[in-house]
Structure 1
Amino acid sequence: MSQAVLDGVRDLLPSLRERADEAERLRVVPEASIKEIEETGFFRLLQPRRFDGLESDPVDFYTAVRDLAGACGSTGWVCSVVGVHPWQIALFSDEAQQAVWGSDTATRLSSSYAPTGRAVLTDGGYQLSGKWSFSSGCDHCSWVLLGGLVFDTEGQVVDFRTFLVPREKYQIVDVWNVVGLRGTGSNDIVVEETFVPEAFTLSMGDTGRCFGPGQEQNPSDLYKLPFHSIFTGTITTPIIGMAAGAYAEHVEMQNKRVRAAYLGEKASLDPFAAVRIARASSDIDAAWALLVNNVREEQAHVARGEKIPLRLRLKVRRDQVLGTQRAIDALDSLFEASGGRALAEGTYLQRAWRDAHAGRVHAANDPERALQMFGAHEFGHKIDPGMY
């Protein structure tokens, strides 16, 4: 079934590429694109089978995201971050899963995980309020996943949880006026004080140890992988896809380009241009290969019933942030060598350059923190819980 989804996604790529300018103009992925992508089954790739999902290999999901981003960066980004949420909902209590998918298995969710909201313990759950930024694709969703620090009655922080909130309990504030990833509609979410039942929350401490109550109903190995491995991959993969799409357009452009400043020399005959694309293609391939290899290593441990070693989880984060950097470096190199025509509105290359650099500033792509954790662990130091 996953192959059918991948084939369906690839059939859509020309039309998605044609709509990329429209996505930028609207500042949201066109509804027609979301509908067509939904019809391929893409949003069900990581969804439990008991709710009409496919429980697919995460690499299949990442492959589809890479291809989508290679046609339109904003579309690939939104599909990645919205498409991964069924994986997390599968970890929630059965009550929460039924609330999301019980009457409509096509329900989609957006998110904003930074704990900028405030939750206070109360009988049976939490009182949640606050404002969250950067909820990509929220206009196409009817639920949201929000991060929040939990305070006890004495004002002390006692937990960090994810809160599942239905559309009628939050507002979307249109603030997304940016230079890159313009089509993602990554607007603010505002929640006036509202009650969230305990069953509609998930402790980040539990997800950090690869546990969720939903594993009882969804026992697949898919849902035993680390949260931060799966989710940070959804941030790097679109950027790899943008670099791959830029690479394809750069090669096509250079095959047609004549460099007037160099006495009419064909750009494709420039030996330095050939070296540049060789380096760029290697960086893109390396970023992708390491991402796939790390997923496979984690899957092998889960299949054997083993706890995933901390070093491997840190390696996933190491290669994830460096994968983003490799893709950005490749894209920068190609953009610099593409000539003035690459600046024209409507070209994929300039849009990918802007989109990739916008994606680079996501918290999951902070290289120093991820690399410091890996290096400190190699030296034998204790690693505090974080994004690993």
Structure 2
Amino acid sequence: MEITQAPPREELVRRASELVPLLREKALWMEENRRIHDDVIEAVTDAGILKMRVPVRYGGYESDMGTVLEVLAELGRGDGSTSWTAAVWSISTWMTGLFPDEVQDEIFSTPDVRISGILSPGAMAIPVDGGFVVNGKWAFNTGAQQSTWNTNAAVTPTGDGSFAPVMVAIPIADLQIVDDWHTSGLRGSGSITTIAKDVFVPAERVLQMGPVLQGQHQSRLNADAAIFKAPFMPTACATVSAPALGLAMAAKDAFLERLPGRKITYTSYENQAEAPITHLEVAEAITNIDEVGFHARRAADMIDAKGQAGESWSLEERARVRLDLGAACQRAKEAVDILNSASGGSSIHYDVPIQRIQRDVLALNLHAILHPNTNLELYGRIVCGLPSNTPYI
């Protein structure tokens, strides 16, 4: 097995930054074709971004969460769909590291393997000799058509009339694809529906969801790795805060690039950059962008610090990561809304980036796990002494 020296954070961020022009060039194509362009996948792969959460024994980098955040945010400066898809691949790759080592040997035998995944249990897994037979479907399955494996949630009977959630690892080739991703935002992510019809899954490729959410896993060889010591939900939430940060930065870039020489129609301002309202809008947007970065980086820093120290997580700490995710999405939307509103009527043209950025950041804010009010309520009820109202924490 190959052991690779992981590049430092600055190097990986630099590589991601160098991809921004390509992502912007292909963004319209990806939106129209509802998937990531092959050139973008090749560039992301060549930059080593798919290796960030792969165990080192398979040639991966085992990058810390801070590195993952900054790299994915740079991708978001270029294109929100690419950043979101890479974030899902990152989470699902990390999730694969929780499976037994022999399962990892199988999945990571494909160099730069792309693994998509769904946390919402959309299927039934019935125990049979040697494993489970799975039937059901998973909507919003980001990047599945361009992936090799799926780590998906299902439920299985417990014998007492109830059901327990499980995670299953299934080759994409075993699933049916429904091309139903016709949306207003994150169109390039190709988050289609997959269907399992009588798919047999060996027992070793099934994990009980409860231990997974608590950060427990079946891998002996990953047991001492810092990145695998964090619980699942904080890891996932910190990862998907990166596209919000990237889109907020992208909105700033897009606005300032169009600003020179633009006038404010039906006013005496021949140069929008000279108008006091523009100064106020830009400053307020940048303040919000800074706050996105604060929340995203606070979550990432806590994951890295506690992983390095091997510390356990309190319920309040877990909920605070979801608070940080919700706040990051909220502030990103506020920043983008300000800059979008200040971009003038010409910005509604399809080839002007700000309108796509605005739709992408709205899509993030509508996601059930990223939804700001849901996350704020969860944290608030725990601080007020009430129990969590969700196992996804």
Q: Which residue of 2 aligns with 1:81?
A: 88
2:339 is aligned to 334
Structure 2 residue 137 is matched with structure 1 residue 128:
no
Query: 2:143 maps to which residue?
Result: 137
**Alignment partner for residue 39 of structure 1, among 46, 56, 71?**
46
The 1-side partners of 2:160 and 2:202 are apart by 20
Counterpart code for 2:316: R
Are 2:381 and 2:388, in contact at CA under 8 Å, matched by a contact in 1? yes
CA shift at 1:250, angstroms?
0.9
**TM-superposed deviation, 1:256:** 2.5
Deviation at 1:353, TM superposition (A): 0.7
Q: What amino acid sits opposite 2:19 in the alignment?
A: L
Q: Secondary structure of the equivalent of 1:28?
A: coil
Q: CA deviation at 1:372?
A: 2.2
CA contact (8 A) 2:228 2:307 kept: no
2:201 pairs with one of 180, 196, 202: 196
Which of 304, 312, 327 aligns to 2:309? It is 304
2:364 to 359, 367, 370: 359
Displacement of 1:199 in angstroms is 1.1
Q: Equivalent residue for 2:241?
A: 236
Following superposition, the deviation at residue 240 of structure 1 comes to 2.0
Q: SS state of the match for residue 21, structure 2?
A: helix
Equivalent residue of 2:198, what SS?
strand
Aligned residue for 1:47, secondary structure, equals coil
Find the aligned partners of 1:305 and 1:359 in 2 and give their Cα distance. Answer: 31
Are positions 1:277 and 2:282 aligned together? yes
Alignment match, 1:99: 106
Match of 1:343 in 2: 348
- The normalised TM-score by structure 2 is 0.94
Q: TM-score, normalised by structure 1?
A: 0.95
User: By percentage of residues, which structure has more helix?
Assistant: 1
CA RMSD of aligned residues (A): 1.6
Partner of 1:117: 123
The answer to whether the 8 A contact 1:121-1:153 is kept is: no
**1:71 correspondence with 2:78:** yes
Q: CA deviation at 1:5?
A: 2.5
Match of 2:321 among 301, 316, 334: 316
State whether structure 2 residue 11 is matched by structure 1 residue 4: yes
**Aligned equivalent of 2:266:** 261
Contact 1:120–1:153 under 8 Å retained in 2: no
CA distance in 2, matches of 1:223, 1:56: 11
Indicate the larger mover: 326-335 or 354-363: 354-363
The CA distance in 2 between the partners of 1:11 and 1:141, in whole Å, is 24
CA distance, structure 2, for counterparts of residue 133 and residue 61 of structure 1: 25
Offset at 1:295?
Answer: 2.1
**CA 1:240–1:305: 2 relative to 1, 3 Å:** closer
Q: Which runs of 5+ in 1 are unaligned?
A: none
- SS of equivalent residue, structure 1 residue 114: coil
State the partner residue of 2:292: 287
Residue 225 of structure 1 is matched in structure 2 by 230
8 Å CA contact 1:27–1:185 kept in 2: the answer is: yes
1:101 offset after TM fit, Å? Answer: 1.1
Could you report, residue by residue, the CA deviation over 1:303-327 in whole angstroms, capped at 9, with x for unpaired residues? 3332122211111111111110110
Q: Distance in 2 between matches of 1:172 and 1:210?
A: 31
Counterparts of 1:294 and 1:264, CA distance in 2: 43
Contact 2:69–2:300 (8 Å) recurs in 1: no
Aligned mates of 2:78, 2:220 — CA distance in 1: 35
Q: Is the 8 A contact 1:46 1:58 kept in 2?
A: no
Task: Measure, in 1, the Cα distance between the counterparts of 2:265 and 2:212.
Answer: 58
Q: Say which is worse superposed, 164-173 or 183-192, in terms of deviation.
A: 164-173
Q: Is the 8 A contact 1:109 1:142 kept in 2?
A: yes
Q: Distance in 2 between matches of 1:217 and 1:131?
A: 30
SS of aligned partner of 1:272: helix
How far, CA to CA, are the matches of 1:190 and 1:184 in structure 2? 18
2: CA distance between counterparts of 1:385 and 1:336? 36
Compute the displacement of 1:155 (Å). Answer: 4.4
Whether the aligned pair in 1 keeps the contact of 2:65 and 2:303 (CA below 8 Å) is: no
Percent identity at matched positions?
Answer: 27
* Structure 2 residue runs without a partner (length 5+): 1-6
How many corresponding residue pairs?
Answer: 386
- Cα contact 1:120–1:152 (8 A) shared by 2: no
Q: Which residue of 1 aligns with 2:156?
A: 150
**For 1:203-226, what per-residue CA distance to the aligned partner results, in whole angstroms no more than 9, with x for missing partners?**
221122211112544521111112
Shift of 1:252: 2.4
Kindly indicate whether the alpha-carbon contact (under 8 Å) linking 1:280 and 1:331 is maintained by their aligned counterparts in 2.
Answer: yes
Match of 2:4 in 1: none
Query: What's the CA shift for 1:239?
Result: 2.1
**Whole-angstrom distance in 1 between the partners of 2:310 and 2:83:** 33
Does structure 1 residue 90 correspond to structure 2 residue 87? Answer: no
Q: Residues of 2 paired with 1:329 and 1:113: CA distance? A: 27
Q: Are the structure 2 counterparts of residues 272 and 108 from structure 1 closer, same or farther at C-alpha, using a change threshold of 3 Å?
A: same
The CA deviation at 1:384 is 4.6
Change (3 A) 1:246 1:96: same
